[in-house]
């Protein structure tokens, strides 16, 4: 009889609980390996993405209210077309080994590696990290580490059992869908701190895709804040990635 009442209580709790909210009293204690397995099972599984992004950027120069068209073929190419007040202002194309960029206001351009992106975002990035950022996945693989688990703010908080000599890392994973909600990486030698917060997830064509995210990157010289919201997300649509740097643009020189 006791078991029956327990089952009924759990069933009623699940039905009455609206999808994305889980109180700390109902967050089941799970080992780190099980949380990581469930996070991997919730990984984004589409290949072709088209979306509109609303972006606010605060750094060395502020760029409020920028709209960007995002096109992506997973593990292959990321393309962004930026506009303001309906007018195109910049274009960016990323592959695994190359960054191509130009902006029309200052008539500057760049072709090279990921140093430019890392400078914009305030910490070290490569193609896979940027892809994971857009798709709502952890920047670094969770499967290569063992974690201590605690429940903080109704989420699973994971910290490595063995401290990394280069990075201090923290993850928060939502127990309702096991997607990453917060990621903090601190680079000890470079005194850089990166925090990524996700704004929950929508289910689109049976795939969980972020509603948006914010990045805060801090180092000894500056603070960079980027806020991104998704609109009009589509999967598996035909895409083109036009890109040509106009003649006469000045190449950006990095320090």
**Whole-angstrom distance, CA of residue 80 vs CA of residue 226:** 15
Yes or no: say if 67 and 83 are a contact pair by the CB < 8 Å rule.
Answer: yes
Confidence class of residue 145 from pLDDT cuts 50, 70 and 90?
confident
- pLDDT of 132 > 70? The answer is yes
Q: Where are the domains of the chain?
A: 29-243
**Whole-angstrom distance, CA of residue 211 vs CA of residue 233:** 10
- pLDDT of 75 > 90? The answer is yes
Predicted local distance difference test score (pLDDT) of residue 10: 32
Q: Identify the DSSP state of 136.
A: T
E strand or H helix at 11, and its extent? helix 2-16
- pLDDT of 7 > 60? The answer is no
Predicted local distance difference test score (pLDDT) of residue 53: 96
Which class is 29-243 in CATH? Answer: mainly beta
What is the share, in percent, of the chain residues with pLDDT greater than 90? Answer: 63
Query: What are the tens digits of pLDDT across the range 78-116?
Result: 999 999 988 999 999 999 999 999 999 999 999 988 888
- pLDDT of 13 > 90? The answer is no
**Whole-angstrom distance, CA of residue 245 vs CA of residue 255:** 22
Torsion angle defined by CA atoms of residues 48, 51, 57 and 62, in that order, rounded to the nearest 10 degrees = 120
For residue 55, what are the contacts with CB-CB under 8 A and spacing of at least 6? 63, 66, 67, 68, 82, 226, 227, 228
Predicted local distance difference test score (pLDDT) of residue 86: 87
Predicted local distance difference test score (pLDDT) of residue 120: 74
Confidence class of residue 25 from pLDDT cuts 50, 70 and 90?
low
- pLDDT of 6 > 80? The answer is no
E strand or H helix at 173, and its extent? strand 167-173
Could you tell me the two tokens for 30?
């799970």
């Amino acid at each position: 009889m006791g078991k029956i009442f327990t089952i009924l209580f759990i069933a009623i709790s699940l039905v009455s609980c609206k999808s994305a909210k889980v109180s700390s009293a109902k967050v089941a204690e799970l080992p780190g390996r099980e949380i990581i397995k469930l996070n991997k099972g919730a990984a984004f599984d589409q290949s072709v993405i088209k979306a509109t992004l609303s972006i606010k950027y605060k750094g060395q120069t502020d760029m409020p209210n920028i709209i960007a068209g995002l096109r992506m073929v997973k593990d292959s190419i990321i393309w962004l077309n930026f506009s303001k007040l309906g007018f195109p202002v910049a274009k960016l194309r990323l592959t695994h080994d190359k960054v191509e960029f130009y902006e029309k206001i200052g008539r500057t351009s760049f072709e090279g590696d990921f140093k430019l992106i890392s400078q914009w975002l305030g910490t070290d990035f490569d193609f896979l990290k940027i892809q994971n950022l857009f798709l709502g996945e952890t920047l670094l693989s969770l499967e290569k580490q063992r974690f201590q688990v605690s429940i903080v703010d109704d989420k699973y908080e994971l910290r490595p059992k063995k401290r990394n000599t280069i990075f201090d890392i923290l993850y928060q994973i939502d127990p309702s869908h096991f997607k990453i909600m917060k990621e903090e990486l601190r680079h000890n030698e470079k005194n850089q701190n990166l925090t990524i917060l996700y704004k929950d997830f929508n289910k689109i064509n049976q795939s969980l895709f972020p509603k948006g995210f914010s990045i805060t990157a801090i180092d000894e010289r500056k603070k960079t804040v980027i806020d991104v919201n998704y609109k009009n997300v589509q999967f598996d649509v035909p895409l083109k990635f036009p890109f040509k740097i106009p003649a006469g643009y000045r190449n950006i020189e990095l320090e």
